[in-house]
Every structure is written in C-alpha cells, then in structure tokens.
Structure 1
Amino acid sequence: MTWRMPAETEPHTCTWMAWPSSGYADGEDAHQAWAAVALAVAEFEPVRMVVDPAARKTARDRLGGAVEYFEAPLDDAWMRDIGPTFVVGPDGLGAVDWVFNGWGGQSWATWEHDAGIARQVAEWAGATVVSSAMVNEGGGIHVDGHGTVLVTETVQLDPGRNPGWSRERVEGELRRTLGVDEVVWLPRGLTRDYAEFGTRGHVDIVATMTAPGTVLLHVQTDPRHPDHELAPRLRKALPAGWKVVDLPAPEGLEDEHGPVDHSYVNHLVCNAGVVACTFDDPRDAAALDILAAAYPGRRVVGVDARAIFARGGGIHCITQQEPAIPGGEP
C-alpha cells in the first residue's frame, strides 16, 4: 500500500482533540483554552473530542453539543502527538500509529493510556492502521502534501526516542509511512521547548510549509531572547530557492519560568479557515494579517493560547486533522 500524508491545507473530514482531565494539563484555564480552540475550529469543520470518562461532565458543560464526544482513558491532552497521523491511499484512509513514549521518556510524563489512543482514534475514524516502530509525534513533522517533510534533528534522532537510529533509517520510515521523497532536517527547535515540559524541538512551533517551497518561519527579532540566533540557522538548513515568509514572535519575552516560546507558527489550518494563537500582545494583529496573506481565501480566527503554551504547546499541538478522502465529501 502506498500512503500519502496530505497537506494541512487540503480538505478535512474533521479535527480530533482530547480534553484535558489530569496532571499538569488540567485546570480551569486549560479547560477554557481547549474549549475556545474547539469552538473556533467548529466554525469551520466538525470537531471530535476524546474525553476521559471521569471528565465527561466538565467537557460537556464547556462544549455542549458543539462537538462529537468519544470516551477513552487519557493521560494527557495533546492530540497532535498521542493521536494518529492520518494518511490517504488507494483504498481510503490510513492512520500512522507511531510509538509514543512521553516525548522521549520525560520524567514527568505518563503514557499508559495515551500510547493506545492512536489505534483507538483510527478505529473510530474507520482508518487502516499503519504501524511504525519509530518513536515520533505529529508535532515533530510538517508536510507539504507533495513529497516534502520538515523535521528536527533533536526529535527523531533523540536518544530518548530512537536510540541507534540513523538519519537514513528515519528517512526511510518517513518515506514508507508518509509517502514523502524529501526530508528537510532543521537543526533544532525553540529554546523553551528544551525545558521541563518541552518536546525537545518539535518543528510545528518554528516552521510550516504553506505550499511546496514556501515556509512560514518563526523569527525572534529581539536580541535579548535566546531564540534570536535561531532563524538564521534554520534558513541555512532550508533548500536553496525556497521562499521564506517571516512570522515575527510576539513582543513578550519571558514569564515566571524564563524565555517563552510563544509562536504564531503553531496554528491549525481548517476548511476555509485558520485558527491561530494570540497572546494579548501588540503583534497579534500583524501576525494574523501575515497568516491571512499566507492562506488566501481563508478566514483567520485568533484564540488566546497562553494557557496552552504555559503547559508546553499551542493550538496545533492540541489538534489533529483527519483528511477527507479524495473524491469524497470534506
């Protein structure tokens, strides 16, 4: 079977999410943020929310009938990473089931339940499971749908994820599961992403492809922030001739834990829309304008993502699109 991961800009059947119900991802501010994202996405396409049975009432109180509910035990709520990566093939929908081990075996992470969510979501979606022996997460890849994938050296080659794996082996597995021809390796992710609740460098917070050969790049313009020197390194790693569109970071530089990783790159493209991170920052409006220009014909909706970022991710991290089957109805 030949599989292909469609670009996020291609039609979706729905978006999958998971409701925060335990551990550090739980809390009133998290419930408010996750609900705001779900309701924003629901303006454009159906939302399917996986809910731990113990959190059934909390989720329904927030979301009512705006989403479709599926119950399963959960450890965490980052559907991009614990859920499947959807692909399409001649016989329909596929779902890549990466090995999930808590972002490289982080000391604070638990994944007894989350390690099985990809297969459960695949079953609910009616998708063929594409098994993989590689430890990976959906936030660690970005595709253009035309044969290219972006990754970072510190994720797929992380000793905590894939000890002993070479670039060649990783690339071979990405070709087999995602149907890509070219793997573009970026050196690393944002500084905060290597702190306690980080992922060790997910690409979906620093760069995304809006079309083949066009990249939206997180750019920290303030030299006081440690990520100021990152954008030039990332540019050098991109193939020659690619168009790079700068997406400047918010003005806010730090919180009580140090330099922040607030990024407008971590958005979700939906059917006819874009759901983007905002931070009550002077640069929010300009960032939404850049996104509107990058995705012509789509309505851009901003959602305050500070409570999500405080827990180690953004809007893209808590969502996972299910592509529509070519020839079917989105």
Structure 2
Amino acid sequence: MPSETAPHDCTWMAWPSQGYTLGDTADEVASARRTWAAVADAVVRFEPVRMVVVPDDLAVAREHLHPDVELVPAALDDAWMRDIGPTFVHSGDGTRLGAVDWVFNGWGAQSWATWEHDARIGAFVGDLSGAELIGSSLVNEGGGIHVDGLGTVLLTETVQLDPGRNPGLTRSDVEAELARTIGATTCIWLPRGLTRDYDEFGTRGHVDIVATIPSPGVVLLHEQHDPAHPDHAVSRELRALLEDARDARGERFEVVGVPAPRTLTDDEGPVDWSYLNHLVVNDGVIACTFGDPQDDASLAVLAEAYPGRRVVGVDARPLFDRGGGIHCITQQQPSL
C-alpha cells in the first residue's frame, strides 16, 4: 500500500442519502449536504473526485457539487467512503493497481448501522477503477489503518481485534492478512483510540483520528494538552509507545504532536475533534477546522509536516457530529 502522499489519480467519496449521517431534520440534511460538498469542492481543486450517489439523489447532489465532480450512481447505506470503499495497493513492480475488498459489517455490527449495500462498495469501486480485486476475509475499514508506503502500518487493538469484527483472530492472524493484502511487514499496534470514538456512533478506535505518518520516520500524533479531557492520558500513553516503536526499516520515529482543539466538550460530552483526520491530495492537504482558537496553529504544524503542499481548511464539525471527519469520507486512488 503506497503512502497517502504518493500521487493520486482521484479521490472517491459517497454522497449522504439516508440515516443518521444525513439527519432527521431539514437543517441537519442541509448541513450534511453542505459539508460533504465543501470537502469535495476543496479536493477537486487538486485532483479529480468521483462521488458515488444513490440514483434518487443524483439531481440534488449535482445542485450542491462543483461541476467537475463526477457522479457515479449506486446503492448506498451510508457515506463513509474511507471505510466502505477498497484500499488501493500497487503490485511489487509498481505496474498494476490492486483494490483490497475488506469485509465491512457496520463497524463491528453496531446496532444502528446497516450495511447491505455498503458491503458491496469496495468491489464496485475497485471494478470501476480498473484495479485487480483482492478479496479478504478480514473485517477492516480504511480508517483503521495508516501506512508509510515502506511496509509499516499503524492500527489499534480495539478495531482489528474487536470481537464484533473478527472474533477469535489473534494479532498474528491479522498481521498475516495485512502482509498478504497491503504488503505490511511491520505492524505497530496502538492499544486504543480517542475516548469519544467508543460512544454510540464511534468506530471503536480508528487510528485515523489519532496518528498518521506524513513521511518515513515521522509520526503525527493527536495531542490533548488539557488534563481535564480524558484524551490527555490517551495521548501521553500513545506518545510513549510510538517513541519506543520502530518502523519497517528498523528506525525509530520522530513523534510530532499536533495540539487538539481547545474546545473540550459539546452537548454529548468530551469531543474527539482532531486535526489528524486530514486528507493528503496532489499538492495539498484538506484539513479539518473547528472554528477553534487552535485551528491556525495546528494547521501550521500540518503545513510543516507536508512541505510544498497547500493546506486548505474545511469546517468539519458537522462531520464529527456524525462520527467522523474529512479522512473518513474520502478514499484516495493512487496513480501507477
């Protein structure tokens, strides 16, 4: 699996059409559509966007989206393309594109989730991309892994070893499947994700709001500085683990903290707002903002971590209200 910083042919997304992601009120529906459109419009400045849309919503999607966004009709349950779509990989010689079709079961068969249609999107997108489909029996989501392109993968024990996802599997079982599918030679297991991610609409610990690898040997880590927030202890624990870890080359990481927003709570409790849930695109980074005093400083950390790329912020609060962020609703297709 190449690094997200490798050149892309396009970014895939899915249009919100029903369920809790879309919302129950007219205001919630409008907010979801505006936010998904804002992300797509930001991405399409840098690279093509292909948006999977329920056929009945083609007209409303076209009204909201930049004309350069390509619409692809298909049935959907939800709109989290990172998790329902395929994970793209290269052949060893770099001449062929593959698409890993993980098993998707609603983030561990959560009671509120449906996935009849979403479970087919990995193969559907993989086929449209022209990639060779790589089937997998592992229940996994794209938000549950981050790689450096050299064989290192970050993942969390509470996702791939979740009894609701992969009952009975061991670390060794998961590692063997990741070696077969994405070429992982070194797995760095984080014990958990952010606190809010274990609430009703969470993913039970996706790594893509916790840490990422912007370049070989460097890890960006969500850092909560306020002891009043439960993620203060989480980020300290993860820093200690990552500072002791070694990548696929056998080298230690430089761990760079990305300070969390200063907002600590919303109406539901401690927030998991995170600048780590960004998408790297060709020549740019599409970053989460929160109308927070910390936005500018933390986006500056991202700009330094991705030299030569323009950082564009999009208000991600409506996404996090629904359980995810910008990285969660996008999936890059790497170039050959």
TM range, normalised to the smaller chain? Answer: over 0.9
Q: Which moved more, 1:111-120 or 1:56-65?
A: 56-65
> 2:16 touches 2:78 (CA, 8 Å); kept in 1?
yes
Task: Indicate the residue corresponding to 2:316 in structure 1.
Answer: 305
User: Which of 266, 269, 273 lines up with 1:255 in the alignment?
Assistant: 266
> 1:192 touches 1:259 (CA, 8 Å); kept in 2?
yes
Aligned counterparts of 2:335 and 2:3: Cα–Cα separation in 1? 11
Task: Indicate the residue corresponding to 2:58 in structure 1.
Answer: 56
Cα distance, 1:206 vs structure 2? 0.3
The alignment status of 1:18 with 2:10, answered yes or no, reads: no
Aligned counterparts of 1:131 and 1:318: Cα–Cα separation in 2? 22
How big is each residue's C-alpha offset from its partner over 1:124-158, in whole Å with a ceiling of 9 and x where there is no partner? 10111100000000000000001100000000000
Q: Structure 2-normalised TM-score?
A: 0.94
The alignment status of 1:37 with 2:39, answered yes or no, reads: yes
The alignment status of 1:66 with 2:62, answered yes or no, reads: no
Which consecutive aligned stretches of 4+ in structure 1 deviate over 3 angstroms post-superposition?
Answer: none
Count residues with an aligned counterpart: 321
Aligned counterparts of 2:335 and 2:241: Cα–Cα separation in 1? 32
Task: Indicate the residue corresponding to 1:279 in structure 2.
Answer: 290
The alignment status of 1:292 with 2:296, answered yes or no, reads: no
Q: Which moved more, 1:239-248 or 1:92-101?
A: 239-248
Aligned counterparts of 1:214 and 1:68: Cα–Cα separation in 2? 34
How big is each residue's C-alpha offset from its partner over 1:105-140, in whole Å with a ceiling of 9 and x where there is no partner? 000000000000010001110111100000000000
Cα distance, 1:237 vs structure 2? 2.1
> 2:41 touches 2:66 (CA, 8 Å); kept in 1?
no
Show structure 2 runs of 5+ residues with no match: 23-28, 247-251
How big is each residue's C-alpha offset from its partner over 1:240-266, in whole Å with a ceiling of 9 and x where there is no partner? 531000001001111111111000000
Task: Indicate the residue corresponding to 2:214 in structure 1.
Answer: 210
Q: Structure 1-normalised TM-score?
A: 0.96
> 1:144 touches 1:209 (CA, 8 Å); kept in 2?
yes
Task: Indicate the residue corresponding to 1:127 in structure 2.
Answer: 131
Aligned counterparts of 1:57 and 1:306: Cα–Cα separation in 2? 26
> 1:187 touches 1:237 (CA, 8 Å); kept in 2?
no
Task: Indicate the residue corresponding to 1:100 in structure 2.
Answer: 104
Show structure 1 runs of 5+ residues with no match: 326-330
Task: Indicate the residue corresponding to 1:328 in structure 2.
Answer: none
- Give the secondary-structure state (helix, strand or coil) at the position aligned to 1:168: helix
How big is each residue's C-alpha offset from its partner over 1:256-291, in whole Å with a ceiling of 9 and x where there is no partner? 111110000000000000000000000000011100
- Give the secondary-structure state (helix, strand or coil) at the position aligned to 2:34: helix
The alignment status of 1:235 with 2:246, answered yes or no, reads: no
Aligned counterparts of 1:319 and 1:165: Cα–Cα separation in 2? 28
Cα distance, 1:64 vs structure 2? 4.4
> 1:308 touches 1:315 (CA, 8 Å); kept in 2?
yes
Cα distance, 1:48 vs structure 2? 0.4
The alignment status of 1:265 with 2:288, answered yes or no, reads: no
What one-letter code is carried by the residue in structure 1 that aligns with 2:314?
A: V
Please give the root-mean-square deviation of Cα atoms over the aligned residues, in Å. Answer: 0.8
Aligned counterparts of 1:273 and 1:258: Cα–Cα separation in 2? 33
What one-letter code is carried by the residue in structure 2 that aligns with 1:257?
A: E
Task: Indicate the residue corresponding to 1:155 in structure 2.
Answer: 159
Aligned counterparts of 1:58 and 1:93: Cα–Cα separation in 2? 33
Aligned counterparts of 2:237 and 2:178: Cα–Cα separation in 1? 23
Cα distance, 1:57 vs structure 2? 1.3
What one-letter code is carried by the residue in structure 2 that aligns with 1:214?
A: V
> 1:185 touches 1:237 (CA, 8 Å); kept in 2?
no
Percentage of identical aligned residues: 66
The alignment status of 1:6 with 2:2, answered yes or no, reads: yes
- Give the secondary-structure state (helix, strand or coil) at the position aligned to 1:149: strand
How big is each residue's C-alpha offset from its partner over 1:288-329, in whole Å with a ceiling of 9 and x where there is no partner? 11000000000000000000000000000000000001xxxx
